[in-house]
Structure 1
Amino acid sequence: MGILDAAFDSIGGVLADQWKDIVTAAPFDEHTIVSPGIRKNAQNGRGGNFGAEDILSNGSIIFVPENTAAFVFSQAGIEQVITTPGGFEYRDGEASVFDERDRREKGLGKILLGQAADRIGFSGMSQDEKRVAFVNLREIRGLKFGTRGPLAYNDLFYGTDLEIYSYGSFTVAVCDAERFVRNFVPANVTSYTLDDPRARGQLLSEFLNSYIAAVNSLSVDYRVSQLPSQTNEIAASIAAEDENAGTWPERFGLKLVAVAIENIEFSEQSRELVRQFSEKKMGVRAYEDVSQRAANVAAQQMIAQGVRDNGLGDGGGMLFGMNLAQSLSPMDASAASRPTATPAPSERAATPSLDDQIEALKKLKDLLDAGILSQEEFDAKKREVLGL
């Protein structure tokens, strides 16, 4: 009875599996990276293809969506990889009486009887096994990360190591579908998602190691508050690394696409250090403002006294002192290099420098003291020199 049962099972299985299949991908969610192929059994109440799920007949159609790669697996592993979107006619399956080429080459009797005879020896089962799976080639977004402990960041602005916690997300994409299936996806798996902690755990650990190294490499050039704007540089630094996430393309056929830093928090100790630093800096700035104003007044007084000592009188000393002080640096009483409006050529020629004015007035004072000039002549010449 066993042989007869196997014979009937073989014939029934052969007839059921003659139907050609229409295979497409099961729905992908945001983190699905491998989705199984599903067979269309009915349409609008028509059809009834209920053959074995692991049998593909010649002439079956595999629909490959955009940004996916279709894999056909046999018992030994990957048989075919299809990366071109559209409908693909499969030709390496079991012969079908509904396929014109098979009928022409083998005939109906050989197809049916040959397959039935092959199956009897396996108790009605087919030795042929084919499965279809689809790999998502789009970016897998929103993979959250967070530093498990404080990250030491040597901020040169504060001149110390600050402890920070960093949170964000990163994006990956399959760059080599065949390598990804062979090296990352477990064997005999046609459905895989990065929501599975076992799938995501290794990626997350390696990413964090690379992320910490990349962030620390930026401390020479960037303050900790500037890190969120340097995500592209962080991603590039991780991709160029020789370890951890930098090796994903060669190891897994997977690449890091982008990193987004959502938040950076100080530890309590580092927050207190930053607060103390800010308070001290504000105090120093206020002191510098007061010192600058005091130095400016002192410079004006010193210059005015110097002019008076050269015999120009109290009024002239104050006038020269105020004008000269405005053109000097209050810290060292030297000429300050600040931009001024460029005078017209006639003004440059008519207006002597301050040193020339002082020297001319000294000579006029000597002439007045020698009795060569009268007081009225001296006053007139002084106004001329001063441009009054």
Structure 2
Amino acid sequence: MGIIDAAFDSIGGVFSDQWKDVITAGHFNEHTLVTPGVRRNSQNGRGGNYGAEDILSNGSIIYVPENTAAFVFSQAGIEQVITTPGGYEYRNGQATVFDEKDRAEGGLGRIFVQQAAERIGFGGMSPDSKRVAFVNLRELRGIRFGTHGPLAYNDLYYGADLEIYAYGMMSVRVCDPTLAIRNFVPANCSSYSLDDSRARHQLTGEFLTSFVAAANALSSTYRVSQLPSQTVALGEKIREGSDNAGTWPTRFGLELVSVAIENIEFSEQSRELVRQFSEKRMGVRAYEDVSQRAADISAQQLIAQGVRDNGLGDGGAMVFGMNLAGSLDPRNASVVGAASAAEGAQSKVEQDKPSIDSQVETLKKLKELLDAGILTQDEFDAKKRQVLGL
């Protein structure tokens, strides 16, 4: 009775699987790596192709969308890879009465009898097994990463190893679809996504290991606050690495395309270290600023004392008329310099008598020195009489 049932099943299966198929890619989302081929069973309400899902007839059409690679799998593994977009006629499948070449080679009766006889020995099933899957060749973006524990970053600006938490996104792309199918996608799997936690954990774990090494390679040049702007350099360092993410192209057929750092946070200990460093640095700068101002005031006081002790000499009027303020700069002048300038101007006083405008200007300068406390009232009155020739 079982043989009779198998015979009927064989004949029914042969008739059902005679239809040629139209196959294209299934749905892709942002993180889909592999999606199964989808057989078109109907079109605008017409069609009745309900043959076995793992049987491909000769003359079937495989449509390959852009940025995908089609894989035809047989019992032994990868049978054919199609990487160029377009429609392709499949010729390594089961003979069908609807294919002109098969009819010419075997004839209608021979096709049915041979296939039915073959299936009876397998309980009504066909020993053939063919399936189609599509690999996504687009950039797979928005793969988030984040450190579960602090990473050590040797920041030369602070002169210490800082503990940081880094968060961001990366993107990868299939660079060798055959290698990706053989080494990254699980065996006998025609649907695989990087949303799968096991796949994501493998990639992000290796990426973070490479990220730490690449970040510290840049620490001699960039401060930790500059890392978000150095994502291109980080990506290059990771790809150049000899392990972890740097080996993806040769191990998994995947390559790292880009890295985006959204946020870097200090651990509590490192945040306190940076705060103390900033406070001390601000204190040093404030001390240096106060010290410079104190030095300037001290120099001015010395100059004022020198003027009081030595006076301005007989050429005082001309000295003030020739920009005394510049000669009395506490950073480049002294009492001796001022006295030398006064002596050098004596000959000029003897040659030319000051004009009224020059006398007025000199008196203004004298008044400013009086108001500043550099000249006493008696000294001011004496110089005033001298300038006016009284």
- The interval holding the TM-score normalised by the smaller chain is 0.7 to 0.9
Q: 1:179 and 1:121, CA in 2 relative to 1: closer, same or farther beyond 3 A?
A: same
Identity over aligned pairs, percent: 66
Structure 2: distance between partners of 1:285 and 1:364: 42
- Which residue does 1:284 correspond to in 2? 284
SS at match of 2:123: coil
Cα pair 1:69 1:136 within 8 Å, conserved: yes
The TM-score with structure 2 as length reference comes to 0.82
Shift of 1:200: 1.5
SS at match of 1:70: strand
Q: How does 1:36-185 map to 2 (within 5 A)?
A: 36-185=36-185
The TM-score with structure 1 as length reference comes to 0.83
Q: CA RMSD, aligned part only?
A: 2.8
- Which residue does 1:340 correspond to in 2? none
Structure 2: distance between partners of 1:11 and 1:224: 72
Structure 1: distance between partners of 2:98 and 2:344: 123
Amino acid corresponding to residue 324 of structure 1 in structure 2: S
SS at match of 1:286: helix
For structure 2, the 5+ residue unaligned runs are 363-390
- Which residue does 2:218 correspond to in 1? 218
Structure 2: distance between partners of 1:181 and 1:377: 103
Shift of 1:317: 6.1
Cα pair 1:304 1:321 within 8 Å, conserved: no
Structure 2: distance between partners of 1:289 and 1:315: 35
Structure 1: distance between partners of 2:233 and 2:173: 18
Shift of 1:359: 7.7
- Which residue does 1:196 correspond to in 2? 196
Cα pair 1:310 1:362 within 8 Å, conserved: no
Cα pair 1:183 1:252 within 8 Å, conserved: yes
SS at match of 1:112: helix
Structure 2: distance between partners of 1:314 and 1:284: 42
Structure 2: distance between partners of 1:83 and 1:3: 44
Structure 2: distance between partners of 1:314 and 1:294: 28
Cα pair 1:303 1:324 within 8 Å, conserved: no
SS at match of 2:103: helix
Structure 1: distance between partners of 2:72 and 2:311: 103
Q: 1:155 and 1:313, CA in 2 relative to 1: closer, same or farther beyond 3 A?
A: farther
Aligned length: 353
- Which residue does 2:387 correspond to in 1? none
SS at match of 1:47: coil
Structure 1: distance between partners of 2:79 and 2:89: 14
Structure 1: distance between partners of 2:314 and 2:57: 115
For structure 1, the 5+ residue unaligned runs are 335-354, 368-372
- Which residue does 1:2 correspond to in 2? 2
Q: 1:69 and 1:309, CA in 2 relative to 1: closer, same or farther beyond 3 A?
A: farther
Structure 1: distance between partners of 2:138 and 2:90: 25
Q: How does 1:340-359 map to 2 (within 5 A)?
A: none
Q: 1:325 and 1:56, CA in 2 relative to 1: closer, same or farther beyond 3 A?
A: farther
Structure 2: distance between partners of 1:250 and 1:277: 45
